[in-house]
Structure 1
């Protein structure tokens, strides 16, 4: 952020993640049998700053949700999810959150949810981004990586 200018304003992928964050958090909670809610606290130390999605103090656990754009980009298997997390740098992000919140464990939930209709372009097939996703059982649309 220099003189009020920010280089990255987001894209359709981050837009979907922001729009569906609450749904993703609910699905993460359902998977764990916990009533999870969005963390709104930003923490910082002398070196880093960050705001994790979910903080579970009773378990000293950080959870971050990542919404996949479509079936083709969603990691359905643990090894795919681990590779995706490392490639994107999410493992380092989680290490930072664990440091800031003094937690022992962090998990990344890759969540596949239907893309909101208003986020599809005129050439996107709603069947691909909505209907096919909804046919997959919810428990198969969340893949967790532990850091």
Structure 2
């Protein structure tokens, strides 16, 4: 887990302000946050930023976590590979079986409810990208003349 922690901490940005998508964000603090990996949860201290001039509770006042953005974290701390594998396991069978199989393999030590929730989150992300994925496949695949 030390390796996961070191890699995640290397993604942190600890400066007074950052530019994200051409918008200035100001650091509002540093705190610990859990990130879920294939082998368990690891806690990392990271900076949090809010759009400059905005306050919490306002439309532009949401907090941005650079570690999560840079790592491609799903929802509230699920690293991409862990989320993808959990969703795949639930796709193969019920979440109870996914949890039991993961326990047997010594990986993904999370509850059945977590498997269920993460699978739905990944599914929602796939649905959101559905049209872009279909367009890319249409562009990439050539239909044979005899088809």
> TM-score, normalising length from structure 1?
0.26
Q: Decide which structure has the larger Cα Rg and report it.
A: 2
- Greater RCO between the two (CA within 8 Å, min separation 6)? 1
TM-score of the pair, normalised by structure 2: 0.26
